[in-house]
Amino acid sequence: MKMKLREVYSALKIQNENVADVEITGVCFDSRKAKSGDLFFPLKGERDGHEFINSAIENGVSATIWQSDHEIPNDKIPYVVVENVSEAFENLAKYYLQKVNPKVVAVTGSNGKTTTKDMIAKILSTSNNVAKTPQNFNNEIGVPYTILNMPTNTEVLVVEMGMDRFGQIDHLSDIAHPDISVITMIGEAHIEFFGTRDKIADAKMEITNHLNEDGAFVYNGDEPLLLERAKKVNQRQMTFGNHATNDLYATEITPGKTTTHFRVNLWPELDFEIPMMGEYNVSNALAAMEVGRLSHIKPAAMQQALSELFVTANRTEWLKAKNGADILSDVYNSNPTAAIEVLNSLKDIKTGRKLIVLGDMLELGDASRKLHESLADSIDPENFSKVYLIGDYMKFLQAKLSDKYDSTNLFWYKKDQLSELTADLKTELQPNDTILLKASHGIHLENVLHELI
């Protein structure tokens, strides 16, 4: 970003003849990360962002936004008075997006959106200057922040969009006005707030509401809920998935512990590799490749880009226990689709004895019992020697698994029994074992992980 403070006034349609000659090179809303050249936006979170303006000034910001219903400050640095800080943040983002005018790729989905965003950015960067959502900044703050911090020479902007309510993605896509909209898949994440997968699909489809008329919609063609809703989208459509009915699909997948190889229908001679496990990540790669096709990226360039991928904050990671056992850790996020995907991927990996530790999956509402029970179909003694479950809802899965496992191989713990779970795992875990830890963050399996490593 690069603009004079006078241009900020103009972009926000504020009249002021006495504007300081200050150059703005970025925006921030976290005073701890403020730096020279930044315009500070005191956004309201758990606390009013105006409380942190002095901290931002101490850290070197060049100017700050100030909401008119707050007491006007002393002139320590230049400030811009607005009626609403959040609206000003979004309006400045819209202005700057039009000024830079990159192609915009918007990505959403119940699972895989961050990984897919990174894959798209990597593929498109083979022939474009690409900016992307940092980490998973995918809400009303994250999307404008992403836009406002893209370099002035950005040719493609890849924006991740998340949601926890109806209308949120519509709002975000109205800010970004994508040229390509991508939906990775429809799962059960946040079903507590939406009630059914049908309603989740409706909410995800909002990403097409502000799709440019000559844009394209890329989506998972294996999902009937998306196929049905895509009929109402007038723009060009491209599908990916496992089935041969899709425009792009995998014809062969070779799983590995830290890499996955696959081939596709369009370029059968090429062996694609991604530096991560799981058929579900192949699906994410296919989504990114479809965006690559739309952007005229050559298949060989996509092949090389995917092999060199570095994924932002990959929640599923391989670690080593103190005794040398392999740990597959995902202790910060879990939902039924993601849990089943990682269980099925772990089944395919050729290794020694495999143990699994599963904690409650939260925010599933009235469907919690049924969805926890649904994991039973992916768990059997042939693939997983011992099963450790923790949390109120995992009690239902224990009951479902009791026909497959005896009491020496199936264990359940209350949510407050992390120390007992940890002690049992330390006793049982052997150097040649592989163990999966997966739960929603509210279960705090990270404490167990810390003790194991």
Which residues are documented as binding site for ATP? 109-115
Going 106 to 108 to 114 to 116, the CA torsion angle's sign is negative
DSSP 235-282: SEEEEEESSTTSSEEEEEEE--SS-EEEEESS-TT--EEESS--HHHH
Instruction: Quote the DSSP letter at residue 409.
Output: T
* Residues across the chain: 453
- Binding positions are 109-115
Contacts of 372 by beta carbon, 8 Å cutoff, 6+ apart:
336, 360, 361, 364, 393, 394, 396, 397
Q: Pick from 421, 444, 449, 191: which is nearest to 332 by CA?
A: 444
Distances (CA, A) of 218 to 105, 202, 404: 10, 16, 41
Closest-CA residue to 242 (of 198, 279, 272, 291): 279
Q: What is the DSSP string of 17-65?
A: S-----EE-EEES-GGG--TTEEE----SSS-GGGGHHHHHHTT-SEEE
Give me the amino acid identity at 161: M
Provide the token pair at 191. 């079903």
The structure tokens listed for 173 are 């896509």
CA distance 386 to 436: 11
Task: Return all residues near 419 (Cβ < 8 A) that are at least 6 apart.
Answer: none
